[in-house]
Amino acid sequence: MKRQIFQVLSILMLLLISGTTSAQLRKLQIAEMAVTNLYVDSVDENKLVEDAIRGMLKELDPHSTYATPKEVKSMNEPLQGNFEGIGVQFNIIEDTLLVVQPVLKGPSEKVGILAGDRIVTVNDTTIAGVKMSREDIMRRLRGKKGTKVRLGVVRRGVSDVLMFTVVRDKIPVKSVDAAYMIRPAIGYIRISSFGANTYREFMDALENLQLQGMRDLILDLQDNGGGYLQAAVQIANEFLERNDLIVYTEGRTQRRINYAAEGRGLMRDGRVFVLVNEFTASAAEIVSGAIQDHDRGTIVGRRTFGKGLVQRPIELPDGSMIRLTVAHYYTPSGRCIQKPYVKGQLKEYEQDFDNRLKHGELTNRDSIHFADSLKFFTLKEHRTVYGGGGVMPDEFVPLDTMRYTRFHRQLAMKSIIINSTLRYIDNNRKKLKETYPTFEAYYDKYEVPQSLIDGIIEEGAKQKVTPKDEEEKQRTIPYLRSQLKALVARDLWDMNEYFRVFNETSDVVKQALLLLE
């Protein structure tokens, strides 16, 4: 019965959006009124309508979605480029908030809160040792710019609880994770998403690297799930010549819209290598596709996710939002790279990564097959490229399943690796800082202690995460060791230093460097 109600309400919402006749609307309004007033049990109308909207969208494509007001706020913050709060990177360890790093020049750093501090009270409410959810803690710490919050802090080596009054402020959310000279004359920039401030961050990084003598660039878009189309267009513009088409969008009711380069970009010369993988999606695929179609650079890695659908936000009166697919986007050669889907079958769509792994696509290029009908040609060198399912790289780099083992994946999924690292840093932060005052000293001399490796394996055994045999254990340790060194660097410095360590063991980065050098 309830499922039928949801279907009726779903049709009502669809007709409201599409502009149906008054007779059809009246019919559905009567049905809704009947349910509300006559149904045998009490009905939560708000939940009924929300479930109806979700039910309607579920029968469409995988990217048409509904979000509550709370979900809208959470979803928008990373893209808007800032939020309002106290300015700390933190993690929860043993039911206590541990400050990983205060944001540079942020409100917490200004009052003297340090990495390694434990925040135990917020406005006299205890948040430590009470199993409070991460969402509840964040709700207490965040607030409007200019408001004050009183924090109780426990600091290693200090017997009393320290009290700080922090004035909340706007906290930047960075989308450029790393930017540095990876080799002489070769720059590296990693973008995690495309938000409101991404272009400005990218330009700052680009200009800084050029001042350091950069001629060629590695642009890392691995694991980049996308974001604002306009940000992707702005960044692609920096690589292309005047009037080069970057992307165009077109839908059943939306006319074709072209986005073209202005021809004033800072990176129109020099070699470009774009790194992608199976989690590179949407706006990141726009940049990759434009650079590939214009033969401007080389795409390195594995076939991208394949999201070629454009969503239009439809804001509802209560602050909730429908993101409705209204168009496809196409790369300059005319490719639509949206991977196939069956309407209403979201589960199959979400299992795409597992299916790719099972079919051998992530480990063997020859396992990837495209129909001739999906064949297109690049615009300058007329190389063959394909649509219908992501951007296929020019240089394929297989996923190394021998190194990234099932045992490692399970340790990561259970948060055993990250929690063990946090405890290690917490116990050794002062000693590490004294021993390695600079990142360069750390990179050259630091070795991950065997005790940390052993502790992770022991904790895994306690949580029933064990290697299937000694051989899998031995294959796991080298990758785990390099990951731990990168994680320790991140907590002592920042994400830039994390990638400076991690990239030296990345097969995709190493392949780009091999081609460049």
Catalytic residue numbers read 282, 293, 307
Pair 109, 103: CB distance under 8 Å: yes
Asked if 229 contacts 261 with a C-beta cutoff of 8 angstroms, the reply is no
**Which one, of 186, 225, 189, lies nearest residue 78 by Cα?**
225
> Half-sphere exposure of 393 toward its Cβ, with a 13 Å CA cutoff?
28
Element (H, E) at 257: strand 257-260
> Do residues 311 and 338 touch, judged by C-beta distance below 8 A?
no
- Structural contact between residues 370 and 339, judged by C-beta atoms closer than 8 angstroms: no
* DSSP letter string, 270-316: S-EEEEE-TT--THHHHHHHHHHHTT-SEEEES------EEEEEEE-
The three state secondary structure string of 331-344 is CCCCCCCCCCCCCC
Residue 4 CA, chain-centre distance (Å), reads 37
Q: Could you give the 3-state DSSP secondary structure of residue 326?
A: strand
Buried b (16+ CB within 10 A) or exposed e, 428-462: ebeebeeebeebeebeeebebeeebbeebbebbee
Residue located via tokens 């063997």? 364
User: What gap in Å lies between CA 447 and CA 442, rounded to an integer?
Assistant: 9
Strands (E), 123-225: 125-126, 148-154, 162-167, 169-172, 176-183, 186-191, 216-220
